[in-house]
Amino acid sequence: MDSFLLTRKEMADLLLSLKGWGVQSPISYLQELWMKKNEKYAKDENAIQAFVTMSMPPIFQKILKKSSSPMGFSLNDIVALGNQIENTNFTLSAIQNWVKRDIKEMIVAPKKGKKYSIEQMALLFLVEDLKTALDFDSIRKLLKLIVNDPEDQEDDLINPVKLYVTYSQLFEELNELNISEKTSLENGLNMITATEKMITEKAEDIISVYISNDDPKKEAIRNTIVIATLSVYTAYFQMLARRYLTATLFLQEFPNH
């Protein structure tokens, strides 16, 4: 059975719809996304076959049944939803450690009774990406630049959902470009320098939509987006390295011919 995984950009768009900031409702967006990922069956109008081949994950079914807005999420919900993002590995024990110890002062108590808000969930998604490249002390310092008062979401430099949207959008845009050929060859830069330059420039363009040029904290937010984007790239390269290691060790098990 195929997996119904989302890119970070797709998850970001889902978070926007859950906040009521998207162009579609969560139900409409998930339905459209599901059909898009089952396009070969949708063209044949064989929705039943599509559903059998790629069943809707329970967490998405739960969202489809919810009528309240904005929704609240338990830690189990956040783990389930987080694991629908490509190349992530959320565990309940890890998330519990984050909210009880590692970033306790940034997440604080659940906002909606025993449920966490969409903003709090976005912060946890951000932490999952940042921890690939940063230790938790560095993550806390970085989050403190963004989240002024954890108890007051209105005073954040940028809403955590919008922050997640910006670097998810940037990561997807960069994936559609050939950085090494397009940028480094044209400007005489090596690939690492070219990648840094392109990420920084695009982060500046994206953040300008949310933050005015004279805002003294603009650079901190831009740099956070750059760090998060680089962290996601780091995670993908680590995944590739593990795959090559697994393949190499697996092939060694075959007898020589």
In a domain, 18, yes or no: no
Q: What is the pLDDT of residue 149?
A: 62
Q: What is the pLDDT of residue 129?
A: 94
* Confidence label for 206 from pLDDT (cuts 50, 70 and 90): confident
Number of domains in the chain: 1
Look up residue 180 and give its DSSP letter. I
In a domain, 167, yes or no: yes
Q: What is the span of the domain harbouring residue 94? A: 70-257
CA pair distance 20, 130, nearest whole angstrom: 26
CA pair distance 160, 15, nearest whole angstrom: 10
Amino acid at 255: P
Model pTM score: 0.85
Average pLDDT over residues 146-161: 72
Look up residue 158 and give its DSSP letter. S
Whether the upstream peptide bond of residue 70 has omega within 30° of 0, thus cis, is yes
In a domain, 211, yes or no: yes
Cβ-count burial of 95 within 10 angstroms (0-12 exposed, 13-18 middle, 19+ buried)? Answer: buried
In a domain, 37, yes or no: no
pLDDT at 44 exceeding the cut of 70: no
Q: What is the pLDDT of residue 17?
A: 94
- Residue that has been written with the tokens 């050929």 in this structure: 181
Q: What is the pLDDT of residue 106?
A: 85
In a domain, 173, yes or no: yes
In a domain, 226, yes or no: yes
Average pLDDT over residues 132-144: 92
Average pLDDT over residues 201-210: 86
CA pair distance 213, 209, nearest whole angstrom: 10
In a domain, 138, yes or no: yes
Lowest mean pLDDT among 123-127, 185-189, 196-200, 216-220: 185-189
